[in-house]
Amino acid sequence: MMLSDSELSVASAIEAGQLLLDLRATFGDLDPADTDTANRLRKEADRASHLLIVDRLGSARPNDCILSEEGKDDLARLGADRVWIVDPLDGTFEYGQGRSDFAVHIVLWIRDESTPTGGRLEASTVELPAQKLTRTDTDPADLSFALPTDRPIRIVASRSRAPKWLPTAVVILAERLGREVEVIDVGSVGAKVNEILCGRADAYVHDTGFYEWDVAAPYAVAHRYGLHASHVDGAPIVFNADPPYVTSLLVAIPPLLSDLRVVFAEASSS
């Protein structure tokens, strides 16, 4: 029986996630100081996951194009109507440290000239294998979002490339809301969005650029659950672009969005 696009996406992501866990287990206890072993694991894992996903998608949908972090960018995708956007291992650094905040991203871009961006995202999966959690854009969208009452406001940012203006934004936002605001470090983009969905964070911001495979699947999942997701300036993100580069990303719970927009604009211009 032929799998639907969503079923194919989920099955491929789950299988790749299990492969990543199994491969890491063969390396035994990881020593964070042993960078040579960690880097060898990361390289092997990226490649193995890529090959598995490309095989599964290619076998099931031979006429579709695939844009993967680990594959060659075939520009035939620019004229295609269906393009799978894949990150076989997002959060590679964290994976090599034995952490759980890494993910597999798979999503299907479908050409749709009726949309402002020329396409729509479907069959999105963010697989978090070490957390035993799968997020998709077919999950029940039954979450409600409110400002937390039992903890500080939390903004997720990149460990190594957080916006330079973020410390200023934290101060301004804390003053504006009259409460504590803190920044937390999480690995994969998919894992960052999941922190918001789990109620452990309230926003994620990035403004130093990354690639479509980092963003596309978490972006679609965020929208499915009712989060705001866009460029930092509020513009929608265009996928299947040349180059496949995304300049910024803001994901936030709706009750915080208007404050974030004001504060981020002020902080980034100061």
Fold match flag (5-136 vs 153-269): no
Question: How large is the C-alpha radius of gyration of the chain?
Answer: 18
The predicted pLDDT at position 33 comes to: 86
The predicted pLDDT at position 41 comes to: 97
Please name every residue paired with 251 in a beta bridge, in sequence order, or none if there are none. 204, 229
The predicted pLDDT at position 18 comes to: 98
Backbone angles phi, psi at 28, to 5 degrees: 70, -160
Mean pLDDT, 10 residues at a time, the chain of 270 residues:
94 98 94 91 97 98 96 94 98 95 98 95 98 95 88 94 95 96 96 97 96 98 97 97 97 97 92
- With CA atoms as reference, report the closest residue to 212 among 94, 97, 140, 117: 117
* CATH, domain range 5-136: 3.30.540.10
Percent of the chain with pLDDT over 90: 93
The predicted pLDDT at position 141 comes to: 78
* CATH, domain range 153-269: 3.40.190.80
Q: How far apart are the C-alpha atoms of 48 and 44, rounded to whole Å?
A: 6
In terms of DSSP H, where are the helices of the chain? 5-26, 35-60, 92-96, 166-177, 189-197, 212-225, 254-269
Helix (H) or strand (E) holding 111: strand 103-111
Extents of the domains making up the chain: 5-136, 153-269
The predicted pLDDT at position 103 comes to: 98
Is residue 107 within 8 A of residue 39, CB to CB? The reply is: no
The predicted pLDDT at position 16 comes to: 98
